[in-house]
Structure 1
Amino acid sequence: MGNLTQNSVLRKCLIRLKLCSFRCPLTDHYTKRLSVGSAIALLVEAQLQQRESLADIVLNLETNLDLQAFTGLSSIHESTLNRKLNAIPLAYLEWLFAQLTQELKAHQRGAKGIKHFGKLAPVDSTTFSLPKVLGDWAFYQDKTKGVKIHTRLLSLESGCHFPDEIVLSTVGVSDQQAVNRLVTKQDTTYIFDRGYVNYGNFRRWVEQAILFVARLKTKTKYTVLREREIPKEGLITRDADVEILDKVSGQLFQVRLVQFSDDEGKVYEVITNRQELTAQDIGEIYRCRWQIELFFKWIKQHLATVTFHNHHPNAIWVQCYIGMITALLCQLIQRETQTLLSPWNFLRKMRYYFARDWDSFVQTLDIEPTRRSKGRQKIPKPAEAPPRTGDKRETVKIIVS
């Protein structure tokens, strides 16, 4: 795998993945052309440019000299790339994902968290459907077939939210089964929706001093131990210390319950073991859970994650990892430029400048507009015309065929 001949935006993106000359000792032992490193580079480039098929990836390689220089390939057949998806080792992609998360954390080394809440970590999953026949290996029920990406989104400060841990599974794996692999740190507050209600987990986290804010189901039973004072104004309707029974172990545990409503009057009940914050703070922490929904929406709309080129199990997991790695890569490069553009506007601009020089691309970021719009001007209403006199004319109706 060679080097690019110019300092292009494409090179700046791919060089961060440390793929130069990478050959997997096992997978690439007999490979003459398409190595694991080259395949990953092609797939990441396809994600960034939203190429929807293997044919598009192949045609782009044939016409993109920069990409040829980086991968060491002038052309490749679709079937070769298709087979390579089955052979790319997941362990290397997992390592690559971890490396990018560490680089993002290094960029935000001084971050102390969201406001005075500290580090927050919304946890949730998103589902990708598979075709009826080719996805039969991921069957769940009612003819549902698909895979899940269980994600822990790390929020280090306002505007800095990125996944730092993921678990891949079929849709038959519940969120509660995967959550213990995502909840591992004591210096982070985890945020959960109702899909993660598990009283055994809540009890263990209380005992292990793992901080969390979790929404309860409407039929949850608890015993109120003490009512706390709530503000006279605002959306908080209840703040109390409660006791909940874990029926599996038969043990009781105590948590804090906060009840609040949103602007539309919808009522939420959440429990937490954060005692030092106000009830308003707890409600605001739970609202931060929306960041993970925005992240899932972003990768599905602006990357090619939802397009699977090969429906073999290993190929599906590879493509899921590639999508998440590409999302991390976008955030890392955006933070290096220190641009004020939104993630979507940055990605869109990067796509158009992909073959251009990196320095010229950076110079175009956050350029002040030469002409500032004064906004939509209010047009004064015309004065009422005096009533017309004389004969009324018949309305003219013309149909152009």
Structure 2
Amino acid sequence: MLDSFRCPFADHYSKKLTVGAAITLFVEAQFQQRRTLPDIVLHLQTNPELQEIVGLTTIHESTLNRKLDAIPLAYLEWLFAALVQELKGRKAGAKGIRHFGKLTPVDSTSLSLPKVLGDWAFYQDKTKGVKIHTRLLSLEVGCHVPDELVLSTIGVSDQQVVKRLVTPADTTYIFDRGYVHYGNFREWSEGTVLFVARLRAKTRYTVQAERPISNKSNILRDADVEMLDKNSCQTFQVRLVQFQDQHRKIYEVITNRRDLSAEDIGEIYRCRWQIELFFKWIKQHLATVNFHNHHPHAVWVQCYIGIIAALLCQLIHLELQSAQSVWNVLRKIRYYAMEDWDVFVSVLNREPTHLRKEDRRFLSRQSPHFKRKKNERR
């Protein structure tokens, strides 16, 4: 078990707080949104069940702080990979999103560091922070798994790490304008990497052939175009789709998928929003944005612990096969974390004691009283 894990190197001189116990405490703190070390310590002191799990009755705040510098990053990377493989294994039969197949949005999110303690992550304009570059695998509707991470300071651009996140696979990668790199596009269009990428404004290309479009759709243009990679002075051919959303905002994307309609390409790019929702979820519902220790190694450790907590939430949700959202499952975990598993499952599956407003309105319309009143009005 995780709480009983003892690292032969990091725990060589540890008398009480092992690596496994520390990770357990920090993951539990993520679930419960305990944003300070005093909160973690106080909860441990007042919770006999947690004391039994980690084998500690109390711990000092400074010990927890120092342990963040000692937790091996390689072990957290292994734990992250093991959880990803478990989630993928449980969804081995997933066929992807509709007829598009599996989709993989790629993007990054930034976490700020304090002005004084974040000097090691300094960027221009006095900005200090770190980035979590993420590859999100959309296995099916409602199942989106972050299956690869790259951690960096905020000054590292998305283009510098994209090669570590993109590998030939049975999926379509989705990129926003931060990943525009004509060398990559040329390599992917000629290889086995499928992609849909948004272009920047005033991008230059040469139209080779126009494709027919319907006047009744939101597609403005569908064409085969030629683009130039200035670094290699080589040209490459891709498909360009221009469409507008419900707010009449115009998007221009290129892709090497020619087996789908232009409307499908637009829908695929809209699926990129899933990675934005994932970043929003971990920032709102976990304590990822509050760092206890601001040393470089400790910051990377805390980033991984936050993502591991999110994966555990997904795994519990998948284990229960609950119709409720992951957020509702997490909310109940916060109150029933120390109860027996059967108690938690029964509470999660309990039938609601009251109806939603729209359900009450629907049932009232089916009642004889409502139909009689409706006939009288006629």
Structure 2 residue 40 is the aligned partner of structure 1 residue 53 = no
- Which of the two has greater helix per residue? 2
Q: How many residues align?
A: 361
| Higher normalized contact order (CA 8 Å, seq sep 6+, divided by chain length) | 1
1:105-158 deviations in Å (ceiling 9; x for gaps):
011010011011111000000000001110000000110000000000110000
- Any residues of structure 2 matched to 1:29-108 within 5 Å, and which? 29-108=12-91
- Tell me how far apart the structure 2 counterparts of residues 133 and 196 of structure 1 sit (CA, whole Å): 31
How is 1:1-400 mapped onto 2 (pairs within 5 angstroms)?
Answer: 18-373=1-356, 375=358
Aligned-partner SS, 2:125: coil
Q: Specify the SS of the correspondent of 2:50.
A: helix
SS of 1:269's partner is: strand
Please give the alpha-carbon distance, in whole angstroms, between the structure 1 residues aligned to 2:47 and 2:162: 42
Residue 368 (structure 2) aligns with: none
The answer (yes or no) to whether the contact 1:341–1:366 under 8 Å persists in 2 is no
**Secondary structure of residue in 1 paired with 2:188:** helix
Q: C-alpha separation between the residues in 1 aligned to 2:292 and 2:247?
A: 42
Q: Equivalents in 1 of 2:354, 2:129: separation in Å?
A: 49
1:281-320 per-residue CA deviation (whole Å, 9 max, x = no partner) reads 1000000000000000000000000000000000100000
Kept after mapping to 2: 8 A contact 1:153/1:164: yes
Query: Aligned partners of 1:47 and 1:364: how far apart in 2?
Result: 22
Task: Classify 1:48/1:186 alpha carbon distance in 2 versus 1 (closer, same or farther; 3 Å).
Answer: same
Residues 316-360 of structure 1 deviation map (CA, whole Å, 9 limit, x = unaligned): 000000000000000001110011111111111111111222111
Kindly report the root-mean-square deviation, in angstroms, between the aligned alpha carbons of the 2 structures.
Answer: 1.3
Name the structure 2 match of 1:386: none
Residue ranges of structure 2 left out of the alignment (5+ in a row): 365-378
The AA in structure 2 aligned to 1:307 is N
8 Å contact from structure 2 (residues 168, 192) kept in 1: no
Runs of 4+ in 1 over 6 A off after TM superposition: none
Rg larger in structure: 1
How far apart, in 2, do the equivalents of 1:302 and 1:293 lie? 14
CA contact (8 A) 2:228 2:236 kept: yes
1:225-283 Cα shifts (integer Å, max 9, x gaps): 01011122110111100000000110001000001000010000000001101111100
Change (3 A) 1:264 1:374: closer
Distance in 2 (alpha carbons) for counterparts of 1:369 and 1:147: 42
Q: TM-score, normalised by structure 1?
A: 0.88
Whole-Å separation in 2 of the counterparts to 1:310 and 1:357: 33
Counterpart residue type for residue 362 of structure 1: V
SS at match of 2:161: helix
What is the CA distance between 1:21 and its match in structure 2? 2.4
Q: 1:374: Cα distance to partner?
A: 5.1
SS at match of 1:142: helix
> Is the CA contact (8 Å cut-off) linking 1:114 and 1:158 kept in structure 2?
yes
Runs of 5+ unmatched residues, structure 1: 1-17, 379-401
Aligned equivalents of 1:118, 1:80: Cα separation in 2:
48
SS in 2 for 1:123: strand
The 1:53/1:371 distance shift into structure 2, 3 A limit, reads: closer
How far off is 1:67 after superposition?
A: 1.4
The residue type paired with residue 214 of structure 1 is A
Which residue of structure 2 lines up, in the alignment, with residue 6 of structure 1?
Answer: none
Could you tell me whether the CA contact under 8 Å between 1:340 and 1:366 is conserved in 2? Answer: no
Taking a change above 3 Å as real, the CA distance of residues 350 and 240 of structure 1, as seen in their structure-2 partners, is same
Alpha-carbon deviation of 1:20? 4.0
Would you say the 8 A contact 2:105–2:137 is kept in 1? yes
The answer to whether the Cα contact below 8 Å between 2:3 and 2:23 also exists between their aligned partners in 1 is: no
